[in-house]
Structure formats: C-alpha cells, structure tokens
Structure 1
Amino acid sequence: MAKDLRSFLGQLKAAGELLEIEEELGITFEIPAAIREIDKRVGKAAYFSRPKGHTIPIVANLLGQKKRLALALGVEEEGLIEEYFRRRQNLTKPTLVADAPVKEVIINKDISISKTIPVLTHHQRDAGPYFTSAVTMAKDPETGIRGMGLHRIQVKDDDTIGIFLATPPLSHFLKRAEEQGRPLEIAVAVGMDPITFFASVIWAPQGIDKFDIAGGLKGSPIELVKAESVDLEVPARAEFVLEGYIIPHKRDKEGPFGESTGYYFSFDNPVGKIKLISHRKDPIYHALMPFSSEETVLLDLSWELDNLKVIQTAFPNVMRMHLQALGEIMLIQIAKDSEEDARKIFHYLFPVNPFVKLAIVVDADVDIYDPREIAWAVATRCRPNCDITIMEDMPGVMIDPSTSGGERTDDLALLITHTAKMGIDATKPLNELDRYEKIAVPEHIKEKVQTLIKKYV
C-alpha cells in the first residue's frame, strides 16, 4: 500500500488513472475549472505540472472513483465494502518517528501562506483562496485526546486563516480551550497518503483516534512526528504542515465559499494564526474540488458504511444503505417483514439525523446503487396516497439553503437548522408479492453469464 501521496501517484499512473496536464493554468478559477471538467469527462485523477506563478505541482480528484479507493486499500472494487468493515475492527496505533520528510524545509519567519503554497480559488464568488483538502489536528485541552477532521480554511492574509469548525471533535476542543481562556493549538496537514486522508472524514466515536482507524485500514501504523512549534504530532510523510493556533473568542466573517452542496455560504467563524510551515523538498499540493465525485466517494461512502451498522442495530432487517448528496438522500434496502417497516424507519431516522432529508426504502430485489432501479421502484411500487411520509420541523444542516433558522447544540457539535423531510416507501405490498415479482433469468444462468462476461469487460 502507498506510504505517501507520491507513491500513490505512482500507482495511479501505472493503472492509467492519472491524467497529466502540461499547459500552464492559473490557480484562480482555471485549475479548479479543469479539475471539474476532467472529473465530468473522464473521471481520472489530475496532475497539473505548471500552476501559473508557482513551481509546485497540484494533484486533484485522487479518490474520485471507488476503484481508486479500492486501489489505495489494495482490494478489488467488488470487495471494498466488506473489506472496509473487516479492517475497521482492527485499530492500529500510530508510531512516532524521530525525523520525517515533512521537515525537510522549515519556514518560521516571514510566513506567507499564498507565496509558499499554491492554494486554489475555486469559484467566482469565493472570498479568496481556500484549503479544501487540509486535515486539521488538535488535542482536547482537558484530556489530551487527539482529534482531526477535514475543515475548509480560508487564507485571509499572509499568516491569518478563517476555519469552519462546525463539527466535533475539533468544535468541542475549541469550546473547552475558550472556556479556559487560551488559544487552541492546531496543525494542518496537506498531501497525506490516501488512507489517512480518507480516515480523516470517517465519523469516529468520541475518544477514537482517527490515526488508529487509518492504521487499521492500512494494515500498518501511521508514522507521526512531533510538530516543531506546537504540542501535536503530525503525519511524517505529508507534503505540507502548517502549525499555529486558533484565537480564543474571535469570530470574523469567513466566506462566501462554494460548499459541497453546490451553494455559497458565509459564516462568522474562528480565526487562526500560522507561525510555521514545514514541507518536503519539491512538494506536491493536493486539492479537493467541492461539489465533485471525490466528495461523494469520501463522504457518502465512509458515512454510509458506518451508519449502516447503527441503523441495523435498531432494524435488523435493513440489508444495505446508500447515501447520496452528502448524506441528504438515503437509500435503504430491507427484507420487509411488515407494512409498517418503512414508516418506522423514517420516524426513527429523521429526528436524530440532521443530514438525511429524503429517505427511500426498497426491497431486496432492488439494486440501491443503480439509479434506474431506484426510479423504477419509486415509479411502480410507491402509492403516493399511502406510501409517502412527511415530517415537519426536523433538524437539518447549515449548508443546505432550503433549511431555515439555526441554533448551536449545547455541546457545539453542529449548527442545527430546521426543515421538513420526506420518506418514500417503494416496497412491494406483502399481500401482492406475485403481482410485483421482478422479471429475471434463472439465478444459475445469471451467475454463469456474469463469470463469462468478466473475461471481456
């Protein structure tokens, strides 16, 4: 498995999954526009060797398709979900090393983020350059427990950032630091190995170190090294690390920024200062394009795999689950036992999960990963007069413009807005199973033909 971003790029190139762009393109709008176009047309990872005004190459759309995540994990795409579940049970603690490639160059005077790193300006109304693939790390001021997460970061000036800390654990850490009247030390890593990067967006239980999860997924400990100026450990083989702190009780306008939901948002968010930048020799900048297929793989896949186990605890007849649109759409496959199954799932799910806004429940004979089959099930099995559930005044998410209001939860975990939600029961009535039987070929013929066709495609 790839030990760092560089070795993973070698794997992608060998697999024909890396598109190399030789033309000079600007870091304001042009490279982001090219990333989106490449994602739409060919779906490959993109490598830009000549960003205008910089000598540092930029890579994007690393995990834009499931097959590249499977490549990073060293498994076949068909076995990705099962292998993920298996490895998630094996937490592996990181190892601390004395020296590291990320410290080959250290800048601790005259800090200028934009001169050092080719941070992209992605959309025409964005307030300026934004880190979108930067993983922020901090420690709980009370317990010392480490946490990390993927948070958008605006470059405000040479050494000042605005950071969107709307989710735990870092939102918790900041609250506790402010209660003590002290800054929260942070380290921001850019350009990590693909497994550690993927682990940064996994929804981990409180107290679980995501580096432990990354080590379990990778099958070996993640190498960390002591930071230079803050009491934190950082990925030893990252391309860049920025060290600094969040100023207590200071909030400034951050944004607008084109978010993952496809809309612009501005918030009054925490402000930080960067006092040191370290990086590898000849570093590579990793960018993530918001509202892209890479976000779908990173967020929808990781969240669905973990949320499936939670929902199966309450409803053992749930077989599979698939998330779309950053978790706002949930497709649920069940082995139906009762006509009330779908409604019970909706009433359980909607009040406790602010992300899910539309849920569709289907039978075991519907492929939840095939949009055509979902549309077919809704069109032919849902009876609108009795199979649709609407629930009002439910919790929503702040980056959905159709939601309203908003209040911080007591523990500062999320800013919860309010919205109506809809559940669609697209399952077969139990008393008319023959009438709703899906056309098919005999199962043994299907298996024979699938094995045959695999040789050709």
Structure 2
Amino acid sequence: MPRDLRGFIKQIEERGQLRRIKTLVDPDLEIAEIANRMLQHGGPGLLFENVKGSNYPVAVNLMGTVERVCWAMNMESPLELETLGKKLALLYQPRPPKKFSQAIELGKVLYDVVQAKPARDFFPPCQQIVLKEGEFDFNQMPFLRVYPGDAGKVVTLGLMITKDPETKIPNVGVYRLQVQSQNTMTVQWLSVRGATRHLRKAAERGEKLEVAIALGVDPLIILAAATPLPIDLSEWLFAGIYGGTGVHLAKCKTVDLEVPADSEFVFEGTITPGETGVDGPAGDHMGYYGGVNEKAPLLRFNCVTHRKDPIYLTTFSGRPPKEDAMMALALNRIYTPILRQQVPEIIDFFLPMEALSYKAAVLSIDKAYPGQARRAALAFWSALPQFTYTKFVIVVDKDINIRDPRAVVWAITSKVDPARDVFILPENPFDSLDFATEKPGLGSRMGIDATTKIFPETDRPWADPLKSDPDVAAMVDRRWAEYGLADLELGEVDPNLFGYQIEQ
C-alpha cells in the first residue's frame, strides 16, 4: 500500500488512470475547467507539470472515481469498505461481547489498533526544505481560483491539525481556506467541527490556537479525516487502521503539533481568537457562490516546510459530480455499519450524490411496529455529527433497493399520504451555506415515511404487491437459451434507459 501521495500517483498511473499535462496552464480558472470536464465523465487523474507563475506541479482529480477512492484505501470494491466499517463500529461504541466469537472479533480489532499506533519520524521528508517568515509567499503557490466570481485563490484537501487546549488530543479536519496575503488565510468551517471547539476553548483561556496545514498527504489519510469519529479518538489512529500500519508523524518546527511525515507541504501558524478577515465569495459544495463572511478566523503562518520538488494536491467544490462526492459515495459504505450499531433497526442507508452526499438520506428498515419509520428518521439525525445537516430523510421497507431512484420514487408515490406520513422539524441548527433556509444557520428537516402502513397507522387493508409466479419464473430461467435469447444477459437495468442521468 502506498503510504504517501507519490506512491498513489504511481499506482494510478500504472493502472492507466493518470494523465500528465505538460502544456503551460493557468491556475486561475483554467486548471479547474479542465479538471471539471474530466470529473463529469469519470476521467483520469491529472498532473499538471507546467503551471503558470509557479515552480510546483498540480495534481487534481486523483480520487475522481469511486474506483480510485477504493484503490486509495487498498481495496478493489466498495463492498470491501463495509468490512472496514464493521471494524470501526466496534471502536466507535464498544460493547461487552456476549459470545466467544464476538470476543475474538473484538480482540482482532484491538490488535489492529495496536498495529495502527502512529510512529515518529525524526528526519521527515516534509522538512527537507524549511522556510521561515519572509522567505515564502503564498501568491507564488499554484493555488486555484476555481470560479470567475471567487474572491481569491482557495486551498483544499489540506489537513488542518489543531489540538484541544485542555486534553491535548489532536483533531484533523479538511476545510476550505482562502488566501489573504503572502502569509495569511481565512478558513470556512462549520460550528460543530473539532477545530472550532478548539478555538473556542483557546479563546476562553486567552491563548492563541496553534495550527498546521498538511498538503499532499497519502489520500488514505484524507479519507480517514473525513470519517466521523468520537471526539476522544485520533484520526491518526483511524488512518492507521485504514492502511494496516501506523501513520508516520513528524513534529512541526514552530508549533507543538504533529503532521504526516511524508506531506508534500506543511504550513505552520496560529489563530488569534477574535482576529478575523473577509472570506468569500467562493464557489461551494451547494452549487452556488457562498456568501461573504466578514468575520472568518484569520490564520497567520510563520513557517512553511516542504519536500524537495513538492507536488501540490488540490480539488474543488461545486454541484456534483465532484471529487468530494466520489469520496462521499465510498465513505457511505463505511458509515453503514457504524449507523446500524447506533440505530439497529436500519438495514441500509444511502446518501445520493445528486443530493450533495448529505442533504438527503434514504433508509431501509425491517418494519415491525407502527411509528418505527419516524423513530428511525429521528435517530438518524442524531446518530453522527454530519447527519445534523441532512435536510430530507426517506424511510422505506427493506425490500426496496435504496440505490435505485425508480424504486425509491415508487415507494414514495405508492406508500405515502402527505398529511399522515410527512413530518417537519422546524428551526434546527443548519448549514449556513444552504440558501434555501430562511435564516442563515437555522432550517427545517423533513421526514418521509414511505414504508408499508400497518394498524393503527391505517385502517385500510394493504394489498399484496405484484410479483411473478415463482414456478413460471424458474421455468423461464431454465428455458432462456431455448428461446434463442442466450446472448442477452439481462443483468441490472441501466437506469439511463429510463431517463435517469446517473453518473457511473
């Protein structure tokens, strides 16, 4: 398994999934336009080797397909991700084993935790070059301006590392940064994120919050940082569990933080509580320009370290499909066992990419009692922090294929009476970038019970669904070649045949 960005680039290039672009390109709008066209068609990763105004190459769209996201995690199929999810579920909310087999399973997971313990690298590649304040200029970096209405260049796919001022437990998150000057940036984040809690605690203590931005890390670590974790567990440990070996960390030069030793770039600095800058507008994941935030936290950097001949890894947000949507589709499989442990009645769940990978969720349950669908929806909203911002939850029966929009729409239209089966929860904490809400940061949620109704949910007897005669279906299977149709393999129907434009 490659343990750094360069190893992953080599891996996808050997599999024919990378294109090197040697033509001179501009990081102002041009690179994003090229990369976006690749993303829309499931194209390869791109490495721009000749970038205007910079000496550094730019890598983008490396995880632009679910297949490549799986490769980043040393897996070949999204189905393998559920096995990893089961392992993480045991750590997320461990329970005393009731059977010997469960004890063995828990023991294996704990052994994996021991193997995943981070290691210290005293001569890290990320510090081959050290630049102190006045020796670096962010304006000479190949940061992208993605959309014509963006206020400035943005930094994405950088791991922001902070540490709880009280417990000293680190948090690793991925946030959008906007360049403000040669050594400052502003950050766009949500109030529930770990780094925001750290900043609030630092403010209460009258301290600056130390911060490090690690760019160009092993993509597996980026995926670990995007996984929902209990507050007291380290993303480094989970990244080690993802990869099977501990992440190599290096102590920063000027702040008391640790970063992946193989990072291509590391920016070290501080956030002074109350010191802010004007952030935005900038294109965001909702598909619109985010508004201007005049009080965005300001990051001041006093040191930049990097590898020799570093590569700048980036991506950008917008209406799906985008690279973050591909990552979310893969992570959906990892979330599933964690969610089942939190809400046992949920059989499966799906976050459609077209719904921004978190704004709408489809749940399937094994319905056993009246009101169960509503209970499942309410439990989902509180199961994991990021589900707080899920606007719509649709609950269906276990026999509905939740990844088939035809099946879900059929369930809604045939099983839902709006007055009875739709419920609204007003005035919830919400994503401030969602322009559909009346008030920034405050919005409503909708639950839809699209399950088959039972007494006393309805007094009407529910008719049986239409199904083929099983004996006739078996006979047709046996005689398929006899009909002269052996050359027609009737597998899963392509939804595009019915007008659904679904990205594969």
| TM-score computed with the length of structure 2 as normaliser | 0.80
Deviation at 1:135, TM superposition (A): 0.8
Shifted more, 299-308 versus 350-359: the winner is 299-308
Q: Which residue in 1 is equivalent to 2:168?
A: 144
Q: How does 1:150-189 map to 2 (within 5 A)?
A: 150-166=174-190, 167-189=192-214
The alpha carbon displacement at 1:306 in A equals: 3.2
Among 322, 327, 333, which residue is 2:350 paired with?
322
Corresponding residue for residue 290 of structure 1: 317
Contact 1:351–1:394 (8 Å) recurs in 2: no
5+ long unaligned stretches in structure 1: 407-416
Question: Which amino acid in the other structure matches residue 318 of structure 1?
Answer: I
Classify 1:99/1:279 alpha carbon distance in 2 versus 1 (closer, same or farther; 3 Å). Answer: same
The one of 307, 313, 320 aligned to 1:280: 307
More strand by share: 1
User: CA–CA distance in 1 between the matches of 2:199 and 2:428?
Assistant: 27
Structure label with greater radius of gyration:
2
Q: Which whole-Å deviations, capped at 9, do the CAs of 1:330-378 have from their partners, x for residues lacking one?
A: 1111122234222222344457853111111122222222333323333
The answer for the alignment partner of 2:76 in structure 1 is 76
Change (3 A) 1:360 1:169: same
Indicate whether 1:335 and 2:359 are aligned: no
3-state secondary structure, aligned to 2:280: strand
For residue 28 of structure 2, what is the aligned residue in structure 1? 28
What is the one-letter code of the residue matched to 2:276?
R
Aligned counterpart, 1:65: 65
Residue 392 of structure 1 aligns with which residue? 426
**Unmatched tracts of structure 2, length 5 or more:** 92-111, 455-460, 481-485, 492-504
Q: Which stretch of the first structure deviates more once superposed, 156-165 or 366-375?
A: 366-375
Whether the aligned pair in 2 keeps the contact of 1:256 and 1:264 (CA below 8 Å) is: yes
Structure 1's 384 and 56: CA in aligned 2 closer, same or farther, altered over 3 A?
Answer: same
Which of structure 1's runs of 4+ aligned residues deviate more than 6 A?
A: 443-446
Structure 2 residue identity aligned to 1:358: F
Going from structure 1 to structure 2, the CA distance change for 1:108 and 1:127 (only over 3 Å counts) comes to same
**TM-score normalised by length of structure 1:** 0.88
> How far apart in 2 are the matches of 1:23 and 1:104?
28
Count of residue correspondences = 440
| Aligned AA (1:98) | F
SS at structure 2 position matched to 1:397: coil
SS at match of 1:283: coil
Q: Do the aligned partners of 2:427 and 2:443 also contact (CA within 8 Å) in 1?
A: yes
- Identity value in percent: 28
RMSD value, Cα: 2.8
| Partner residue, 2:258 | 233
Separation in structure 2 between the aligned mates of residue 378 and residue 247 of structure 1, nearest angstrom: 50
CA shift, 1:396, in A, is 2.0
Residue 432 of structure 1: CA displacement?
Answer: 3.2
Per-residue deviation, 1:303:
6.0
Matched, 1:190 2:202: no
Report the equivalent of 2:298.
271
- Matched residues in 1 for 2:36 and 2:278: separation? 27
2:376 maps to which of 342, 345, 348: 345
Partner of 2:412: 378
Asked whether the equivalents of residues 301 and 323 of structure 1 are also in contact (C-alpha less than 8 Å), the reply is: no
Report the more deviating stretch, 327-336 or 60-69. 60-69
Q: Structure 2: how far apart are the matches of 1:235 and 1:453?
A: 48
| Structure 1 residues 241-293: Cα deviation after superposition (integer angstroms, max 9, x where no partner) | 01111122212221111111112222221111111111111111111120243
1:350–1:100 Cα change, 3 Å: closer
Map 1:217-228 to 2 at 5 A: 217-228=242-253
Contact 2:133 2:301 in 1 (8 A): no
